[in-house]
Chain A
């Protein structure tokens, strides 16, 4: 496997979606190519940093207002038959 191919399969490799043969080829390439190893490690760290982020929340005042408006609309809707 060469660098271009490794790059193409990188996400599948990270997500453990490659078959055994391609995984072995990717591992063999990574063992000898320092640049591809850096790309792998920093891509994994990139994914980790985003997964670790606190989920975004609606600011409290905005949330209260939205809740009240939607609750009104919900309660005013016609009853299901």
Chain B
């Protein structure tokens, strides 16, 4: 466990070990979020770079009101969204389109694949399908799902990163889970019915 105050103090003193600790602790996590949102490793690398550079610039003013990780995630998230907007400046993000939509995705597939044999879930094809399913989520749901379920942030931390309230985090997570369940049900139910893996 890193003591953040000690780490920040060491970073302010340009301690190279502190930099390595910081990089090891957060670079993969920020990259995971950025790739998840952008689906482009070059752009994701740019996002990680931007987040760290912004931290270096602001180190002297960093007041520790947010945790370091939350702060870095927030910069990486905003940088990713900026890049998405630049890619398609005339089209609003799915996030903006569905901002007022509280309707829940209705389940339509009721095959129970939850206790299918383990090899079915462990295959490379199944892993690719999991990735495809997340990639199809609207950005706003995808960001919440990655931060909460895959990066393990709390509801409060996720809300802070995304600049939304905790209620919105819960609603988006719920919608993301239902959409992913439906997508995966389509994939796994077919294989369970075929009786193979």
Q: What residues of chain B lie closer than 8 Å to A58, measured between beta carbons?
A: 27-28, 31, 45, 48
Q: A10-B174, A39-B181, A66-B45 are in contact. Are A74 and B28 (CB under 8 A)?
A: no
Q: Given A50-B149, A66-B27, do A41 and B114 touch, yes or no (CB 8 Å)?
A: yes
User: A80 with B180: in contact, given A51-B150, A56-B35, A66-B45 (CB under 8 Å)?
Assistant: no
Interface size class of A (residues with CB under 8 A): 35 or more
Return the contact of A77 from the options B29, B56, B106, B184 (Cβ within 8 A).
B56
Query: Is B111 engaged at the interface, CB distance under 8 Å to the other chain?
Result: yes
- Contact: A35 with B107, CB < 8 Å? yes
- The answer to whether B14 touches A45 (Cβ under 8 A) is no
Chain A interface mostly helix, strand, loop or mixed?
helix
Whether A55 touches B32, Cβ cut-off 8 Å, given contacts A50-B130, A62-B45, A77-B56, is: yes
A10 to B181, CA, bound (A): 12
Quick one: which of B13-39 are within 8 Å of A by CB? 13-14, 16, 19-20, 23, 27-29, 31-32, 35-36
Which residues on A sit within 8 Å (CB–CB) of B28? 55-58
Contact of B56 among A47, A53, A73 (CB under 8 A): A73
Are B104 and A43 neighbours in the complex by a CB distance under 8 Å?
no
For the A-B complex, the count of residue pairs with Cβ-Cβ distances under 8 Å equals: 121
Collect the chain A residues with CB atoms within 8 Å of residue B130's CB. 49-50, 53
Contact with A along B121-138 (1 / 0, CB 8 A): 100000100100010000
B60–A80 contact, CB under 8 A?
Answer: yes
Query: What residues on B are CB-neighbors of A49 within 8 Å?
Result: 121, 130, 184
Check if B71 is an interface residue, CB within 8 A of chain A.
no
Interface residue ranges of B167-185 to A (CB < 8 Å): 170, 173-174, 177-178, 180-181, 184-185
Which listed residue, B32, B41, B52, B181, touches A43 by the CB 8 Å rule?
B181
Q: Which residue of B lies closest to A80 (CB)?
A: B12
Q: Which residues of B contact A (CB under 8 A)?
A: 11-14, 16, 19-20, 23, 27-29, 31-32, 35-36, 41, 45, 48-49, 52-53, 56-57, 59-60, 104, 106-107, 110-115, 121, 127, 130, 134, 145, 149-151, 170, 173-174, 177-178, 180-181, 184-185
Query: Interface residues, chain A, CB within 8 Å of chain B?
Result: 7-8, 10-12, 34-35, 37-39, 41-47, 49-51, 53, 55-59, 62-63, 66-67, 69-71, 73-75, 77, 79-81
Besides A39-B107, A56-B28, A58-B27, 14 new A-B residue pairs in contact (Cβ under 8 A), listed by A number? A10-B174, A10-B178, A11-B170, A42-B113, A42-B114, A45-B114, A46-B184, A47-B149, A50-B134, A53-B150, A55-B151, A69-B49, A74-B14, A74-B19
